[in-house]
Amino acid sequence: MRRVLVTGGGTGIGRAIARAFAREGDAVTITGRREEPLHETADGFDMTCRTADVTDEAQVAALFDCAFHVVIANAGAGTPAKIRDVTLEDWNRTLAVNLTGTFLTFRAALAAMPSGGRLIAIASTASLKGGAAVPAYTAAKHGVLGLVRSVALDVAKSGITCNAICPGFTDTDMANTAIDGLMTRFDVDRDTATGMVVSGNPMKRLIAPDEVAAAALYLASDGAASVNGHALSVSGGET
């Protein structure tokens, strides 16, 4: 039985990924800062819930009291603001959770990960292109992809792979926050605001969290043993 760790497993993409691996019969551990969403994710599934802040080195290290076969660095956050409005506090917080959190998670995972292990970062299409309204988030996610590509080269001979999944706007709380913001800013209804959010996706829809989870299952499969250092875009052709 594989042991799988998913950071940010309490909501959204993390929840979908954790449940997908649990359905496969894997031993899944989910982490997050808040207990309630973790237990909601685990309801009806055989999962272990552990609270941790991925920006805290000691808390991340404590998660790895056993070796995990699959580690998915999903925890992330970002709020829209053009560079002139980004405070240093906002910048540091965004880089800490998205980039430093992924670094700390991967570094701790590799201390005991067996051959054939899988490191997967949930990045974003913001890893692959610029975003005028999200410079801090975009910079952090570009950093995640650079980290993934570097780690992939480092671990290749060990049989471990390291890859990134780059979703477009996904039907999660983060997308809903963006939609709510556009409704307020432009005084438009939800359908119009949603259309603005998905305008970059040629399919003109939000990505389903389960679609991202399916990509994670693939990258963790035997069939993806030679997929390494890859940025898998799940974006309807946006990138």
Catalytic residue among 64, 68, 137, 169: 137
Rounded percentage of the chain residues whose pLDDT exceeds 70 = 100
| Span 44-54, pLDDT tens digits | 999 999 999 99
| Span 149-169, pLDDT tens digits | 999 999 999 999 999 999 999
- Whether 171 and 234 have beta carbons less than 8 Å apart is answered as no
The CA-atom distances, in angstroms, between 123 and each of 43, 74, 140, 166, 217 are 26, 8, 9, 5, 16
The pLDDT score that the predictor gives to residue 142 is 98
* DSSP 8-state secondary structure symbol assigned to residue 74: -
The pLDDT score that the predictor gives to residue 6 is 98
φ, ψ at 188 (rounded to 5°): -125, 165
Domains and CATH numbers, the chain: 3-168+207-234 (3.40.50.720), 171-205 (no CATH)
Band of the pLDDT at 179, cuts 50, 70, 90? confident
The pLDDT score that the predictor gives to residue 55 is 98
| Span 123-144, pLDDT tens digits | 999 999 999 989 999 999 999 9
Is residue 207 left, alpha or beta, with left meaning phi > 0 and alpha meaning psi from -120 to 50? beta
Band of the pLDDT at 91, cuts 50, 70, 90? very high
| Span 14-43, pLDDT tens digits | 999 999 999 999 999 999 999 999 999 999
Residue 63 in this model has a pLDDT that exceeds 90: yes
Q: CA dihedral defined by 194, 137, 125, 129, rounded to 10 degrees? A: 110
Asked about 218 being catalytic, the answer comes back as no
